[in-house]
Amino acid sequence: MSLRINNTAPDFTAETTQGSINFHEWIGDGWAVLCSHPKDFTPVCTTELGTLAGLQGEFEKRNCKILGISVDPVTNHEKWSKDIEASHGHAVNYPLIGDPELKIVKQYDMLPGDAGDTSEGRTPADNATARSVFVIGPDKKIKATITYPMSTGRNFDEILRLVDSCQLTAQKKVATPANWKQGDDVIILPSVSDEDARATYPDGWQQPLPYIRVVPQPK
């Protein structure tokens, strides 16, 4: 099944390094980032999960939980986590899903339906497309998704920026322009009428083009 932005994120129950979870229940009324990687004990993935562990507090400030997943068993995750902490100085305190039967990665369209039903014998290259990020909102809908090649480590500062933007849109009905960062000007959504916009922004807005209404980032 192909997944698109605004689709409901598939629910599942899975074993993790922190016990069994039901995904939607685990998210609760906050946000979540589901982050997959092709295989444990590989170099780029090790740098990514170590970096993500160091940024966990930043995600928590945003009421956003982190959940990792690969097709490796949980026992491998537990062993690998020691390497991650040793090399990056941060313990992996977020749960890692073991999906050795490939059920969840197929649900999330990260591997094709004919990929089989076991991780046994699979190489990182076999799992190359299982390298995605899904940002999921409190309504359990997919707000954003990005897939990376195996050779490119993910920029988690950018993923934090993406979460910030998605949350701002959900809360304030504004969009964020190219290269936006916290505190920069934003754009009133086209779906908001001028009348409704004036009620929210009585001082008005800059309008470089008829369809662009720029305002300071709302508090």
Question: What letter represents residue 10's amino acid?
Answer: P
Residue 22: beta bridge partners?
A: 13
pLDDT digits (tens, 9 = 90+) for 160-218: 999 999 999 999 999 999 999 999 999 999 999 999 999 999 999 999 999 999 999 99
d(CA 64, CA 134): 12
pLDDT of residue 120: 78
Q: Is 64 a catalytic residue?
A: no
Write down all domains in the chain, each with its CATH number in brackets.
13-154 (3.40.30.10), 173-215 (3.30.1020.10)
User: Which is the catalytic residue, given 35, 45, 64, 166?
Assistant: 45
pLDDT of residue 112: 67
Task: Please tell me the pTM assigned to this model.
Answer: 0.93
Q: Which residue has the tokens 């009133």?
A: 188
DSSP line for 149-191: -TTS---HHHHHHHHHHHHHHHHHSEE--TT--TTS-EEE-TT
User: In Å, how far are 3, 46, 169, 189, 209 from 173, measured between CA atoms?
Assistant: 24, 37, 5, 6, 19
pLDDT of residue 1: 57
